[in-house]
Amino acid sequence: MAQYHDINFTVPLAQPLETDGYLVPGNGEWRVVVFHGTPGHPLLFTRFLRTTPAGIEVVIFSRPGFGKGHKDAVTDFDDQVAALKPFLPGGGYGTKNIITVGVSYGGALALKAALDFPAAVKGVVTVAALIDEPYDYALRLEQLGKHPNIEPFVPNRWQKVREEIAGRRSQIGPLFEQLKDLSIPIEVLHGDFDALVPKSNAEKLMGYLGPNAHLDIVPGGTHYLELQFPRRLHGAVRRIIERNGGSSG
């Protein structure tokens, strides 16, 4: 079983932001960096961390807005993806090939990271990615949180969720227009029993991607594949490494 430890680092924004996370050290040439969903927390990925194959390094961090002491939502995709910079070559954690993993809301961020840092990011795995919209009942809950009689009682963490979900809508379209430029291997995972984000989101995403994208609909998979089937995610990472001509173990 792989061992992980706490990390703390600075996200290089206009006003630098301290955040935290976990790291599984690896002595190979591959580093997997995970963007969690909203609200999300690195603790949800403990099974994924503990099942990390030997030699591969894994990083899961609290996204900007959800780290310890973060009071405000961070809705700009550029600011979210800036959290990857310390793990890129020259960023302080050593030089390795990067695979980004994006879960739910983080799926768009993992893809954007590949567009923004093409020399370093060699592949992307999306997991239950929120590409279009969640199910109607989730949208109604978001709208309910805006009601003036309810909003004062909504916890800050969930206010941030509402702000992120709303803020992504204006950014998704321009991001999609660029996805055709990605030639790296991409693995798209989605559970067929996802009760939050319909699997049609994965099918829609595939329409924006090129021939190097592979769709994996997971039978019985819920919205939390990282908890249910962590080794299936590692399998997707392994396929990306192999498609890059590398060794996954």
Question: What CATH code is carried by the domain that includes residue 159?
Answer: 3.40.50.1820
Q: What value does the mean pLDDT take over residues 23-51?
A: 95
**Residue 150 scores a pLDDT above 60:** no
Q: Is the pLDDT of residue 164 over 70?
A: yes
Query: Is the residue at 248 inside a domain?
Result: no
Dump pLDDT digits (tens) for 90-139.
999 999 999 999 999 999 999 999 999 999 999 999 999 999 876 554 55
**Average pLDDT over every residue of 10-24:** 97
Tens-digit pLDDT profile for residues 192-211: 999 999 999 999 999 999 99
Mean pLDDT computed over 55-59: 98
At residue 41, the pLDDT reads 84
- The answer to whether residue 101 is domain-embedded is yes
Number of domains observed in the structure of the chain: 1
* pLDDT for position 134: 66
Strand partners, 124: 100, 186
Rounded mean pLDDT of the chain? 91
User: Is 72 contained in some domain?
Assistant: yes
Contact 123/244 with Cβ under 8 angstroms? yes
CA-to-CA distance for 236 and 209, rounded, in angstroms? 17
pTM for the model: 0.92
Q: What is the mean pLDDT of residues 75-99?
A: 96
Q: Which residue has the higher pLDDT, 23 or 160?
A: 23
Rounded-to-integer distance, Cα 52 and Cα 26, Å: 9
In a domain, 249, yes or no: no
Q: At what angle do helices 106-116 and 156-179 cross, to 10 degrees?
A: 40
Q: Which domain holds residue 189?
A: 5-243
Helix (H, G, I), strand (E, B) or coil at 12: coil
What average pLDDT does the segment 214-237 reach? 97
- 58 lies in a domain? yes
Q: Is 42 part of any domain?
A: yes
Position 208 in a domain: yes
C-alpha 77/C-alpha 161 separation (Å) is 14
